[in-house]
Structure 1
Amino acid sequence: MSTSPLLTGLSAKLPELRALYEDLHAHPELSFAEERTASLVAGRLREQGWEVTEGVGGTGVVGVLANGDGPVVLLRADMDALPVTEETGLAYSSKNDGVMHACGHDMHVAWLLGATGQLAATRDGWRGTVVAVFQPGEEVGGAPKVLADGFAERFPRPDVCLAQHVAAAPAGLVGTRAGALMAGADSLRVTLFGRGGHGSTPEATVDPVVLAAAVVLRLQTVVSREVGANQQAVVTVGSIHGGTKENIIPDSVELKLNVRSTTEAVRERVLAAIERIVRAEAAASAAPREPEIVPIDSFPVTHNDPAATEAVQAALAGEFPGLTFELTSPVPNSEDFGAFGTALGVPSVFWFVGGADWKLYEGVDLEALVRDGIPPQIPSNHSPRFAPTLEPTLETGIRALLATAGHWLAP
């Protein structure tokens, strides 16, 4: 166990922090509806002695704790849950029907509140200013909304931005990499127009359902035929809606697409291919109207500053000897955390904290885990069965935040 002064008294607080986590997990709230969570966060921060601002970017909460001259460190946690029905069977399962903390943001809130409590209680052990950001709406790109709400003018400008995410890796492992860490993401809404009519006379219609099927199948060739083997991209059609009855051909069908890419060149190529295919298939079907292609949201590539990442990796290796790893390539998941460093013009670093029971990894080669990712049989983020094991995940995340922030805040 580390002897850092920032950890003084943490062990005694863990039972209460566990209860906090269980409460957060049982009361998930969707993006920009995190009213209860935000109120709980603001109350805890005030009790700890932080200067608190609520309603940032909607339901965001920002705490500032100044402790003498020194660097300014931004620590960020996201608060929103997902429209998922929980299937974990936990005693503290979601009480909100159809809503679940399936991505672990409840753990992120508990981690940061644990860290803010330690920083407030151990002020003799550090110098500088900490800006704790509890962000709404990460699942739908909430970081730009927080930043657009006068963030740079209202709060101290950080020297570094730090954040972490629970993952389905074995609990206690901590890992990251310099440069591109997570893919950029683009979501699109595509509306395909036809000419509706009776299912018994398709020759008198233009069937947008058949058109949609052709588009979905053709989109599967974008990555396999237009993206190089040494490049990364994913194209997913996650939603199709059209029609009301089996014998009625509808006038339109709506698709929702998600694209992941790790470079701007690949991103532009994939988005251009999607538009080309959608419009060409509509023309081939003699659609009466051009399709509509509307962006829903866009996240940039999560990029870790090399020098700051080196410092973070050293801090984590010192705190967790033998339990750190370095990813060999970017992962296809996406995050909006990078918007903070980009908008504020400062380095940022993001890393992963394992939260899965080690028993799930019996017989799994950990080197293969780093190389190939989470095995498909293990419930991962966004699964209705995703449930981080509380120990040592809860303590690991708090210690990781304190160890990394402590690098910059050392007295």
Structure 2
Amino acid sequence: MSIPQTLITQAIAWRRAFHAAPELGFEEHTTAQRIASLLLSFGLEVNREFAVTAVVGTLRNGPGPVIGLRADMDALPIQELGQCEYRSVYPGRMHACGHDGHSAILLAAAAHLSATRQFSGTVHFIFQPAEENLAGGQKMVEDGLFEHFPMDAIYALHNWPGLPEGHIVVNAGPMMASQDTFEITLTGKSCHAAMPESGADPIIAAAQLIMGLQTISSRRVSPKDAIVISVTQLNAGEVINSIPETATLRGTVRCLSPQVRTTAISIMEDMVRQIPAGFGVAGRLSYRSGYPVTLNDPQAAAAAYRAAIEVVGPARATFGAEPSMAAEDFAFMLQVCPGAYLWLGAGDDAGTVGLHHPHYDFNDAIIETGVNLWTRLIEQSCPLHGTPAQLNMTQGIS
């Protein structure tokens, strides 16, 4: 059953309202209240007991599988430079990643599925806060999301600039990389810059260590196993004519395999201990594990692909693509419940800007594809038994 255009028009209006009033992680109070009110108007049960501002809407329609659909809803601390009529009203905050669009798609899917009831089972519509660097997905897991709402599978999508508009991509395996951060403290002996032999130079040790870390991906890990180690900060010294006592390196590590991630930590520990020691400098590594690998379940990925083929056709659906080395905290949910994470193409025109760009704006033209995708996925995963009670197609649309 096709999605009513009145619903798509309403979803675009919701999206633009969210865009105009962006809220940062764990501060999405107004957004969450609006979402909860809409879900109630669609006839869903609503729970707001998770992760400060999370909202879970539940639609029950007889016996059958239990499926979760998740959208993120937080914004970024970026000053919006675009000039659309619905641009952010809050200085220094904007929806630069499309979470406003993800939420609007999920809301419209909830409205449509509640109205049509062409499935048998239960759907949990999960609106997650704080995806951007604050691990709201992990918080929802820790708060007992899957204990309170056991699910057979869970799915999420992300709009993807650079992918042709309306194309859908899913992998049976890694979709996004893990993201960890590190800080390395190098402690030597300060001395006059004209007499370096009287000290122990942490900057020289830092230079050697930076180059050494780059050999992990080329010499210590198989070239078939993707890993990116980036040193993004080097801080040392206060004056131009003195070798400092300490130097600090900071950066990130990204992997597409949990095993490679573990190996990288071990190798880094060895390098931080051994390389600076050759210069009389002591090294200490502080490693913070962040988002895990976004690892799709093969069966869930196949189910998503089948729905994608039905919605956009085989020419615009891809099963198996190069994963991204960016990270996504939906990975925490996939560690607990089988599921899949998908990309929905936002366009690859010359003027398309990337995620987290101050001129970014979600492409409203892909909302209908997203709603159709979630609808078909639920209808295929939860096949109807008998004839459903049909509801008014405009129920709850406001």
| 1:360 to 2:334 alignment | no
1:126, distance to aligned residue in structure 2 (A): 2.2
**How many Å apart are 1:135 and its aligned residue?**
1.3
Distance in 2 separating the partners of 1:89 and 1:202 = 55
CA distance in 2, matches of 1:274, 1:201: 31
- Over 3 Å counting, the alpha-carbon distance change for 1:67 and 1:90 in structure 2 is same
Instruction: Establish whether residue 187 from structure 1 lines up as the match of residue 177 from structure 2.
Output: no
Match of 1:23 in 2: 17
Matched residue, 2:308? 316
Compute the displacement of 1:18 (Å). 1.4
CA distance in 2, matches of 1:227, 1:41: 45
Cα drift, residue 355 of structure 1: 0.7
Aligned to 1:371: none
Contact kept, 8 Å, 2:191 with 2:198, in 1: the verdict is yes
TM-score (norm 1): 0.82
Letter in 1 for 2:317: T
Instruction: Compare 102-111 and 164-173 and name the one that shifted more.
Output: 102-111
Q: Please point out which of 124, 145, 151 is paired with 1:151.
A: 145
**Conserved in 1, the CA contact under 8 Å of 2:170 and 2:321?**
no
Match of 1:307 in 2: 299
Over 3 Å counting, the alpha-carbon distance change for 1:122 and 1:240 in structure 2 is farther
SS of 2:132's equivalent in the other structure is helix
The 3 A distance-change label for structure 1 pair 247 and 77 is: farther
Alignment map for 1:49-68 (pairs within 5 Å): 49-68=43-62
- Amino acid in the other structure paired with 1:398: V
Aligned Cα RMSD in Å? Answer: 2.8
Where does residue 231 of structure 2 map in the other structure? 237
Does the residue aligned with 1:360 lie in a helix, a strand or coil?
Answer: coil
Distance 1:360 1:131 in 2: 38
Identity of aligned residues (%): 34
Q: Once the 2 structures are TM-superposed, how far is the Cα of residue 250 of structure 1 from its aligned partner?
A: 5.8
- What CA deviation, in whole Å up to 9, does each residue of 1:343-370 have, x standing for no partner? 24xx3121110112x5339xxxxxxxxx
1:382 is aligned to: 356
Q: Taking structure 1 as reference, are residues 359 and 278 closer, same or farther at Cα in structure 2, changes over 3 Å only?
A: same
**Correspondence for 1:406:** 379
Offset at residue 127 of structure 1 (A) = 2.1
Q: CA 1:116/1:248 → structure 2, altered by over 3 Å: closer, same or farther?
A: farther
Query: Following TM superposition, by how much is the alpha carbon of 1:398 offset from its aligned partner in structure 2, in angstroms?
Result: 1.5
Summarize the alignment of residues 74-85 of structure 1 with structure 2, pairs less than 5 Å apart: 74-85=68-79
**Shift in Å, 1:24:** 1.9
Q: Using the TM superposition, name which of 347-356 and 99-108 deviates more.
A: 99-108
* Structure 2 counterpart SS, 1:291: strand
The residue type equivalent to 1:395 in the other structure is E
Q: How many equivalent residue pairs?
A: 381
Q: Tell me the TM-score normalized by structure 2.
A: 0.85
Q: Does 1:255 align with 2:255?
A: no
Work out whether 1:228 is the aligned partner of 2:209: no
Measure how far apart 1:76 and its partner are: 0.6
Distance 2:335 2:179 in 1: 16
SS in 2 for 1:147: helix
Q: Which residue of 2 aligns with 1:350?
A: 341
Change (3 A) 1:379 1:404: same
Equivalent position to 1:326, from 306, 319, 333: 319
2:251 and 2:357 map into 1 onto residues whose CA distance is 19
The answer as to whether partners of 2:311 and 2:369 remain within 8 angstroms in 1 is no
After superposition, what is the alpha-carbon deviation per residue over 1:313-369, rounded to whole angstroms, capped at 9, x for unaligned? 11111111232123334332222323324324xx3121110112x5339xxxxxxxx
Provide closer, same or farther for how the CA distance between residues 263 and 69 of structure 1 changes in structure 2, counting only shifts above 3 A: same
CA distance 1:244–1:306, shift in 2 (3 Å): same
**Is the Cα–Cα contact under 8 Å of residues 282 and 291 in structure 1 kept in the other structure?**
no
Query: Which residue does 1:369 correspond to in 2?
Result: none
Distance 1:323-1:249 versus aligned 2 partners, 3 A rule: same
The one-letter amino acid of 1:360's match is A
Matches of 1:201 and 1:117, distance apart in 2: 74
Maintained 8 Å contact 1:338/1:348 = no
Kindly indicate whether the alpha-carbon contact (under 8 Å) linking 1:161 and 1:348 is maintained by their aligned counterparts in 2.
Answer: yes
Kindly name which structure, 1 or 2, has the bigger radius of gyration based on alpha carbons: 2
> 5+ unaligned residues in a row in structure 1: which ranges?
362-377
**How many Å apart are 1:198 and its aligned residue?**
7.6
Structure 1 residue 73: Cα displacement: 0.8
Aligned residue in 1 for 2:393: none
CA distance in 2 between partners of 1:197 and 1:117 (Å): 69
Deviations 1:256-294 (A, max 9, x none): 32222222332223222222222334323433x542413
Partner of 1:170, secondary structure, is: coil
* 1:366 match: none
Alpha-carbon distance change, 319 to 230 in structure 1, aligned in 2, over 3 angstroms: same
Distance 1:203 1:32 in 2: 52
CA contact (8 A) 2:209 2:272 kept: yes
Secondary structure at the aligned position of 1:307 is classed as helix
1:29 is paired with a residue of what secondary structure? coil
By how many angstroms is 1:180 displaced? 2.5
Change (3 A) 1:292 1:266: closer
Letter of the aligned partner of 2:252 in structure 1? N
* Cα distance, 1:290–1:241 mapped onto 2, change above 3 Å: closer
- In the alignment, residue 331 of structure 2 is paired with which amino acid? G
Aligned residue for 1:164?
157
**Secondary structure, in 3 states, of the residue corresponding to 1:56?**
coil
CA spacing shift, 1:149–1:198, aligned 2, 3 Å: farther
Unaligned runs of 5+ in 2: 385-398
